[in-house]
Each structure stands twice: as structure tokens, then as C-alpha cells.
Amino acid sequence: MIIENSKSELRKIGKNIRSKIDPFLREKYSHEINQYICTTDYFLNAENISFYLPMKDEVDVWPLIEKSWKLNKNVFVPSIRNNATLNFHKINRNTEYITNNFGLNEPINGERKSPTDLDVVIMPLVVFDNCGNRIGMGGGYYDKTFAFLNGSNAPFKTKLIGVSFACQKVKNIKKDSWDVNLFQVITEKGPAY
């Protein structure tokens, strides 16, 4: 477990740790994470689910995307808007993608869905703690997009689910006022928050 540092230091440490996971173990752990999520009520009951398109060191959620299609769920992935928030585009097996300025694949087109209408959002993270706090890649896109979830009286149903490898857990992340908490974090060991 990583001790307390600044967000930028934690991000650097978390990315380094994640990059050192053996590819065989990364695939095994990703499979275990996907298998667990498939059994949750929030996944089974969801109609509209957003996933990320994984980069090489991240948890591979493609099998979960495939499972969602087999269950006739609507699958969405984010694209970055100019105002530093996210659009969510419906995808299918025939969707075409372009690579954005950050090296992320985004759908060229596809029906858009408001973030408030998503049932579940599966999101990557670089590090996480026991309180549902996360650090991502540093753009704040998820926090800005899901700011409507901040506050205990938020009437929205959207559940933010972070996926990560257990070795990316930290003792404590200093939460800023704009940070949006996760509903749950899933690692290869099961729920970690």
C-alpha cells in the first residue's frame, strides 16, 4: 500500500506500479474483475452502461463490453469535449474510432446519452483509497462530468464504479471539493471500497 503523497506524486507512483504488472497477471486480474462485476445487481439491472476503452496497462474491460452486448445492454464510451467534460456515445461491434490528442480511442459518431441517464459508469483509475476517492490521469474529466452526483441529496441513479488492480490502493487521498466519490472500487480481490 502506498503512503500519503500529493496527487501528482500518487499518480506517478500508481502509473509506475501498474506498468510493472506482468502481462499474464494483468490479463488474469482483468478477467477476475470482469467476472465479479458481471454478478453485481448494478450491472445485471443496468440498461445504459458506460465503459472506457482501455489503454495497455489498464484493466481490460473489453470482455465486459462484449458481455453487455450479449445481454442487450446499451454500451457507451466517453469522448472528451472542449469544455473538459465527457460526451457518451453508444457503440457496437461495428463502431469506428479515431485517436484523440491524448492517445485515447473515441468513437467517430454514435447516439449520445446524457451522463444523468447512465445507470453505471465503469471508469479507470490510477490509485484509490478506502473512502471511494480516486486519482485518474489528471484531466478531471470524470469529476467535471459527474459533478451533479456531489452532495448527499443527489437524486440521480448513476453509479460510478472504479476498476483497478489491488496494488494501486493507497492509504489516503486528499479530497478536493470538486472530487466525485465512487460508488464502488473493484479489484481482482473483489470490492475494495
pTM of the predicted model as reported, rounded to 2 decimal places: 0.91
Q: Output the nine-digit C-alpha cell for 78.
A: 466517453
pLDDT at 167 over 70: yes
pLDDT attached to residue 4: 54
Task: Please compute the mean of the pLDDT values over residues 178-186 and round it to a whole number.
Answer: 93
pLDDT at 157 over 90: no
Query: What is the overall mean pLDDT for the chain?
Result: 91
Asked if residues 42 and 161 have their Cβ atoms less than 8 Å apart, the reply is yes
How many whole angstroms separate alpha carbon 117 and alpha carbon 148? 12
Domains, the chain, with CATH or none = 7-191 (3.40.50.10420)
pLDDT at 84 over 70: yes
How many whole angstroms separate alpha carbon 98 and alpha carbon 106? 5
Asked if residues 100 and 80 have their Cβ atoms less than 8 Å apart, the reply is yes
pLDDT attached to residue 150: 83
pLDDT at 120 over 90: yes
Question: pLDDT by residue (tens digit) across 23-77?
Answer: 999 999 999 999 999 999 999 999 999 999 999 899 999 999 999 999 999 999 9
pLDDT at 158 over 90: yes
pLDDT attached to residue 76: 98
Helix axes 62-70, 23-37, angle to 10 degrees: 30
Q: Output the nine-digit C-alpha cell for 185.
A: 472500487
